[in-house]
């Protein structure tokens, strides 16, 4: 895989460099609530601009249905990128139309432009190779060189991620190089004990990664909504907690395999449970009880791990040399149900291990709960991409850069 440093050594002054970034930031009323993904791609864009390239930045945001939708405009991201770069960033109001062509043509050496949301064009996400390829052809007209740095999208076979690199000289940006380097530390020559913390709502989202990690990790700590399917599989009462009943046979097989392999698969021992899902907007005080994990009342739902589980999980992390965490272990958006996720994050910062926060809600939780990002070894920008890499899948965006 060619690196951006090699590309810079060859010289990029005056060249139009298309940077496929991941500017898929959360918005509230048009205001960015977390600019982590923009800051993550900043080193690549800044270096290219400093070297005199004419930088064309492209990304998706949200899931518009293949046509323009003002709610998913990249305009706020372009404005924030300009603030971070310390220069005005031009913004094209379309992807491959007149505005994009005029905006790119007007770029001077060392300047940066952002084109509108790639998913405003149906060709970006099309499953039809010809339609996707046609869109990639039009994108290629805007550039001389391609740099892939949108790690959060490399697991997607999309035009700007998979097809476009085949049409232009290409290299991997700093972010992708960093992310891949970190993931290799989680899959090859891992320093042990290796502890994995998995949370989130659905056990089905994590089955493939659990399958892979059962042969690699020393301990797997389970939390979040997915924990209740494990508890149900063990025959415990889980009340009205999240349950994927169809996954119970697979969960039972994993529990048996973990025991056979000597992998500690650790489940909550106590739970915060309530009859009502919390109000996440008003964040009014929650009404809950703390109960043993095998005694959740029939009319209550588990919403966070309890104090005994927080202590247990912290002790399982304390002596680790490597920790990978993906998924909050409770409804962290509400302060009364954030203590479990906060305890996991705190344990990672105190462990002395090489710690990786696997993107998505975990990364959002770290920032929302006020942790210093530098206290972690690495905070990934791509939760889904990280998981698929750990599952052993071929990621289309990485494969395209390796050709």
Would you please indicate which residues are annotated as catalytic (active-site) residues? Answer: 37, 202, 360, 384
Residue of 377, 383, 361, 366 whose CA lies nearest to 153: 383
d(CA 59, CA 39): 14
Nearest Cα to Cα of residue 95 among 74, 71, 110, 65: 74
Q: Is the peptide bond before 193 cis (omega within 30 degrees of 0)?
A: yes
Q: d(Cα 271, Cα 330) in Å, to the nearest integer?
A: 10
Parallel, antiparallel, or unpaired: how do β-strands 194-198 and 264-266 relate?
A: unpaired
Length of the chain measured in residues: 403
> Alpha-carbon distance 368 to 330, whole Å?
14
- Under DSSP, the state recorded for 220 is E
Burial class (CB within 10 angstroms; exposed 0-12, middle 13-18, buried 19+) of 282 = exposed
- Contact in structure between 120 and 68 (CB atoms under 8 Å): yes
β-strand pairing of 194-198 with 16-20:
unpaired
User: Cβ atoms within 10 A of the Cβ of 312, count?
Assistant: 18
Cβ proximity of 355 and 377 under 8 Å: yes
Opening angle at CA 35, ends 221 and 388, nearest 5: 40
């Amino acid at each position: 895989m060619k690196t951006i440093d090699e590309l810079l050594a060859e010289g990029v002054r005056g060249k139009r460099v298309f940077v496929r970034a991941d500017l898929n930031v959360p918005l509230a009323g048009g205001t960015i609530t977390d600019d982590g993904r923009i800051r993550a791609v900043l080193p690549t864009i800044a270096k290219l601009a400093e070297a005199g390239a004419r930088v064309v930045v492209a990304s998706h945001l949200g899931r518009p249905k293949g046509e323009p939708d003002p709610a998913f405009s990249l305009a706020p991201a372009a404005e924030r990128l300009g603030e971070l770069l310390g220069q005005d960033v031009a913004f094209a109001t379309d992807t491959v139309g007149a505005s994009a062509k005029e905006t790119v043509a007007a770029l001077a050496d060392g300047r940066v432009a952002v084109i509108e949301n790639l998913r405003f064009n149906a060709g970006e996400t099309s499953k039809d190779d010809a339609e996707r390829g046609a869109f990639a052809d039009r994108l290629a007209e805007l550039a001389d060189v391609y740099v892939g740095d949108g790690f959060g999208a490399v697991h997607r076979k999309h035009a700007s991620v998979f097809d476009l690199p085949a049409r232009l000289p290409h290299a991997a940006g700093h972010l992708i190089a960093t992310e891949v380097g970190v993931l290799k530390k989680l899959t090859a020559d891992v320093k042990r004990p290796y502890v994995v913390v998995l949370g989130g709502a659905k056990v089905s989202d994590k089955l493939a990664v659990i399958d892979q990690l059962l042969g690699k990790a020393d301990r797997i700590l389970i939390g979040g909504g997915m924990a209740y399917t494990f508890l149900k599989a063990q025959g415990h009462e889980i009340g009205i907690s999240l349950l994927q009943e169809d996954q119970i046979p697979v969960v039972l097989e994993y529990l048996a395999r973990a025991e056979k392999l000597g992998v500690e698969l650790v489940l909550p021992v106590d739970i915060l449970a309530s009859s009502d899902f919390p109000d996440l907007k008003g964040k009014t005080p929650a009404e809950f009880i703390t109960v043993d994990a095998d005694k959740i009342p029939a009319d209550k739902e588990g919403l966070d791990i309890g104090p005994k589980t927080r202590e247990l999980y912290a002790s399982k992390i304390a002596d680790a040399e490597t920790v990978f965490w993906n998924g909050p272990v409770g409804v962290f958006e509400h302060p009364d149900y954030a203590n479990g996720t906060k305890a996991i994050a705190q344990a990672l910062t105190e462990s002395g291990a090489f710690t990786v926060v696997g993107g998505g809600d975990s990364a959002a939780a770290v920032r929302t709960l006020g942790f210093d990002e530098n206290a972690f070894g690495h905070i990934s920008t791509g939760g889904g991409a990280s998981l698929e890499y750990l599952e052993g899948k071929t990621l289309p965006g990485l494969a395209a850069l390796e050709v």
